[in-house]
């Protein structure tokens, strides 16, 4: 039987209430939190409640569309009208530090390119 990675997943624990965190926004499909180690003045994470190891394993197009729409709405609510960046890190080489897909919203300062 396959191992259920969601049992030990940090974001799954936040999603199902095993770990209490203040949500910036949420619905039945996702929640958003402010990053505890921000890389910009505004750094919020948009996280699906359903566990996916990374974006390469997501099989739900409607969910991903919903997450990106919510990311844009949250950026607007946080006053990022002059611009913001959305990032999805994938895998170790891509900088993914939590094995659960999530979207970073970064803003509140001029973003540089290339980022790293």
Catalytic site residues? 102
CA pair distance 40, 37, nearest whole angstrom: 9
CA dihedral 95, 83, 109, 43 (to 10 degrees): -50
Q: Are the C-beta atoms of residues 48 and 103 closer than 8 Å to each other?
A: no
């Amino acid at each position: 039987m396959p191992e259920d990675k969601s049992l030990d997943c940090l974001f799954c624990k936040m999603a199902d209430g095993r770990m209490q965190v203040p949500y910036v926004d949420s619905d039945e499909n996702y929640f958003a939190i402010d990053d505890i180690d921000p890389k910009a003045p505004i750094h919020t994470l948009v996280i699906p409640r359903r566990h996916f190891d990374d974006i390469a394993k997501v099989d739900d197009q409607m969910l991903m569309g919903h997450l990106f729409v919510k990311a844009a709405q949250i950026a607007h609510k946080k006053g990022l009208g002059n611009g913001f960046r959305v990032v999805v890190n994938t895998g170790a080489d891509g900088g993914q530090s939590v094995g659960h897909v999530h979207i970073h919203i970064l803003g509140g300062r001029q973003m540089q390119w290339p980022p790293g």
